[in-house]
Amino acid sequence: MSSDQSTNPTFNQEKIRALIARGKLKDTLFAALGIICLGIGLVVIFALVADMAIKGFDRLNLDFFTNFASRRATQAGILSAWVGSLLVMLVTALTAVPLGVAAGLYLEEYAKRNWITEIIEINITNLAAVPSIVYGLLALGIFVYTFGFGQSILSAGLTLALLILPIVIVATREAIRAIPAMIREGSMAVGATRWQTCRYHIVPYAMPGILTGVIIGLARAIGETAPIITIGALTFIAFLPPVPFTEIGEGARAGLFDWVMSPFTVMPIQIFNWTSRPDPAFEVNAAAAGFVLMAMVLTMNAVAIWLRYKLRKNIKW
Amino acid sequence: MNAYAMSASPVPDTHVVSDRLSKNAMRHASERVIEALLFAAAAVSVLTTVGIVYVLVSESIQFFASVSIVDFLTDTQWTPLFDDAHFGIMVLVSGTVVSSAVALAVAIPMGTVIAIYLSEFANPKVRELAKPILELLGGIPTIVFGYFALLIVTPLLQKIFPELPGFSLLSAGLVMGIMIVPYVASLSEDAMRAVPMSLREGSYAMGSTRLHTALHVVVPAAFSGLAASYILGISRAVGETMILAVAAGMQPNLTWNPMEPAATITSYIVQVALGDLPHGSIGYQTIFAAGLTLLLITLIFNILGQWLRRKFRENY
């Protein structure tokens, strides 16, 4: 090599320059490939939203939100679907948030390092990888038939709560882990018990992180279709769940919690129903409803991303 | 809390203070109750697993009382609701395998390229922008992807392949791949970013280009994490339901050709749930047997993923 270099330096320099140029070209090409791949993702999101907005534009008016599903495409609306989605989310949030936060608190602040804790941890990791339709089968066997909740808002809400529980637990644990030990030490040094430390320090400080996880979990739950279809939710519902304390005929009044046992439909099921009909008129409805659902999910995700961004910028222990 | 108020008078003797605290039994009792409640909440996740296994196994046992396991695994027809009932799960498995293969053929290369780009090439600004985009893509409801596959991607593909039917594993699989890209990309990127800078610096010092460093130093070093992200992608693909139920048709079809419509394990469960099968009938039990098959497949991949992680983990 060295004799080669001394006899013909220019040739070698050119060779090396060419090699470097080729390497740089490959770098640039790969970077371009990376941007193209990212661009495909962006194009898909954009195409989805644009297609649904354009196709469904005519149907996106107030009537669409206040009409029940109908056999005539132009008169069909999503009233029962969005009310159902909202109520199911309410049950899901009320179940998953306390359970998830409590479980996260236990694992981070209370649990001793032993085999029970290890089983719980491995279990949560594995649950996150279980297909959502399997949760539907669990709910069909346990909630619908064993507990006798039927095909109700309660069954659906509990199913989705179990589905997003791992998300809430993991978010809670990560938020708690970011709180430095000195906070706990300071609290306990002035005589607070473990629970008082959790109640007045750990949970409030972890709140933004927990909230981010909860919103992402709920955004996932509101778009879930498979588990809810599996518990056998009806697709054609032209009534709303009973409002508490209103008359439901024959002088009877609805109880405060009657709505949880009511049959229901949700946005994704309504979209599925409309998408799978051969009549193209319903395609327009599916597009409009899909646009509404996308708007809900993207807003929730955007709020979560913004919250996390803000959180990362502000807190410095 | 009141214990503090009462002990406010100056008590120099430390022994007395600790005595007072220890007498406040309620304080400790309520702590115990709270700890027990929190433990119960953590145990719900274990109960969920137990519940899943119990439901799937108990219904499947009843199913296998009337259908032999050999028939279940080897029969080439899946007609559980016909008079001439056949229960060959392979028919559904073929649909699942073909659609997952198409999805992974999209998701693994795309996800890996994005991950390498974000971790080795992109400047921080691009990364800050790209990560939320990927997250939004991963957050789109699968039913919306189903709509996309059936009403946008299938017509587009039909322009290229005029003989493509209205329902096909191909278009469902392609869209499923796009859906899985964010999972693969973000996990792979995490794995590559965990590779210590010194390895890259060593490679650059030897005169390597960025691409050479990425492919020959960072990727091998992060291999266990990459493998885990691929495995997660496979689990997602196998368990995906709505895209297939909407865009791949729900006709059981033993095929290895992605251009055909076919039912998968998941879309069969949806199809049965949409109908009105009486609780306890053989048709009702089939969805639990199908669900058990699905769970076992994802479980095998999870175990494989954990094994790969352990086997190829590099310690720095």
B258, B197 in Cβ contact below 8 A? Answer: no
Residue A12 and residue A77 share a domain: no
Closest partner CB to A123 (pick from B31, B45, B144): B45
Burial class (CB in 10 A: 0-12, 13-18, 19+), A61: exposed
Q: Same domain for B278 and B182? A: yes
The domain of A18 spans 2-57
Residue B54's pLDDT band (cuts 50, 70, 90): very high
ipTM of the complex: 0.86
Give B291's pLDDT tier (boundaries 50, 70, 90): very high
DSSP A253: B
Residue A28 has phi, psi (to 5 degrees) of -65, -45
Same domain, B109 and B258: yes
Q: Does residue B72 sit within a domain?
A: no
**pLDDT of the residue at B212:** 92
Based on the fold, state whether residues B129 and B252 are members of the same structural domain: yes
What's the domain range around B124? 89-312
Nearest to A38 among B114, B241, B273 (CB): B114
Whether B74 maps to a domain, the answer reads no
Rg (CA), chain B: 27
Measured in Å, how far apart are chain A's first and last C-alpha atoms?
Answer: 58
Residues B308 and B172 reside in one and the same domain: yes
- Same domain for B44 and B99: no
Q: Which of A69-73, A128-132, A270-274 has the lowest mean pLDDT?
A: A69-73
Q: Which amino acid is at B41?
A: A
Within-domain flag for B182 = yes
Do B242 and B277 sit in the same domain of this protein?
yes
Unique residue bearing structure tokens 């047997």: B289
Query: Are residues A64 and A127 located together in one domain of the fold?
Result: yes
Tell me, yes or no, whether B180 and B266 share the same domain: yes
Residue A305 tokens, joined: 């991303």
**Total of domains in chain B:** 2
User: If we measure between CA atoms, which residue out of B283, B264, B265 comes closest to residue B82?
Assistant: B283
Q: In angstroms, rounded to a whole number, what is the distance separating the alpha carbons of residues A292 and A113?
A: 46
Please indicate, yes or no, if residue B293 is contained in any of the structural domains: yes
Last residue of a domain, one of A33, A57, A81: A57
Same domain for A110 and A50 = no
B149-153, B174-178, B251-255 — which one is most confidently predicted on average? Answer: B174-178
Given a cut of 70, is residue B268 above it in pLDDT?
yes
pTM for the complete prediction?
A: 0.86
Domain check: are B50 and B93 in the same one?
no
Do B134 and B34 lie in a common domain? no
Residue B81 lies in a domain: no
Position B24, amino acid: N
What's the burial of B113, exposed, middle or buried (CB within 10 Å: 0-12/13-18/19+)?
Answer: buried
**Same-domain pairing of A174 and A35:** no
Residues of B in Cβ contact (< 8 Å) with A103: 38, 41-42, 44-45
Using CA atoms, how far apart are residues B276 and A11, in angstroms rounded to an integer? 80
H/E segment holding residue A120 = helix A115-128
Q: Which residue has the higher pLDDT, A127 or A257?
A: A127
Q: Which of A5-19, A73-87, B218-232 has the lowest mean pLDDT?
A: A5-19
Q: Does B304 touch chain A (CB under 8 A)?
A: no
Does residue B112 sit within a domain? yes
Reported as type and span, the H/E element at residue A97 is helix A79-105
> pLDDT tens, A174-183?
999 989 999 9
Residues 240 through 299 of chain B touching chain A, CB cutoff 8 Å: 240-242, 245-246, 266, 269-270, 273-274, 279, 287-288, 291, 294-295, 298-299
Q: Is B1 domain-assigned? A: no
Any A CB within 8 A of B150 CB: yes
Distance from the first to the final alpha carbon of chain B: 49
Subunit contact A272:B55, Cβ cutoff 8 A: no
Residue B16 reports pLDDT greater than 50: no
Instruction: Kindly report, residue by residue over A138-154, the tens digit of the pLDDT.
Output: 999 999 888 988 888 99
Whether residues B181 and B273 share a domain: the answer is yes
Structural domains counted in chain A? 2
Tokens representing A197 are: 């430390």
The CATH number assigned to the domain holding A81 equals 1.10.3720.10
Same domain, B170 and B285: yes
Shared domain check, A34 and A83: no
- Per the CB < 8 A criterion, the answer to whether A131 and B266 are in contact is yes
Q: Does a structural domain hold residue B184? A: yes
Q: Give tens-digit pLDDT for A180-228.
A: 999 999 998 998 888 999 999 999 989 888 998 999 999 999 999 899 9
C-alpha dihedral (B108, A122, B240, A33), degrees to nearest 10: -20
